[in-house]
A = this chain, B = another copy of it.
Amino acid sequence: MKEIDGLTSEEERAAAVFRALGNPARVRIVRELSLRNACATSDFVSLLPLAQSTVSQHLKVLKEAGIIEGTIDGGDACYCLNAETVRWLSGFTGDICCPPPAQDCSPGPC
């Protein structure tokens, strides 16, 4: 991937978050976390047809993107969504459809 200079830090962040979500397994994980808060790694391992190491890696990707947070508490881990990031993402995505400057989604030419 190439560095893009004229890029907003917001756009950089968006790309990073989107990339992290761009995998079925990770979408599943995030979806699960949005329903029942706090799951252990083993929960996801039994939820997905993937090896434990792979699931752990996916969790790491999500964590590095700031989408989830994880703490190790004794033997097992505890993951949950990062509310701030999720909210921000929701806002960014919404703005794509309806940009802030009070602009509706009416099509232009094309």
Contact = CB atoms under 8 A, between A and B. Distances in A.
Interface in A1-37: 1-7, 11-12, 14-16, 18-28, 30-31, 34-37
Contact of A80 (B5, B94, B107): B107
Given A12-B24, A38-B108, A2 B50 contact: yes
Contacts of A105: 83, 86-87
Q: How large is the interface on A (under 10, 10 to 19, 20 to 34, 35 or more residues)?
A: 35 or more
Nearest to A36: B108
Contacts of A24: 1, 4, 7, 11-12, 15
Contacts of A37: 107-110
Given A1-B23, A15-B21, A86 B96 contact: yes
21 contacts: A2-B50, A3-B49, A4-B49, A5-B49, A11-B28, A12-B24, A15-B22, A15-B24, A18-B19, A19-B22, A31-B96, A37-B107, A37-B108, A37-B109, A78-B110, A83-B105, A83-B107, A86-B96, A86-B97, A87-B97, A93-B94
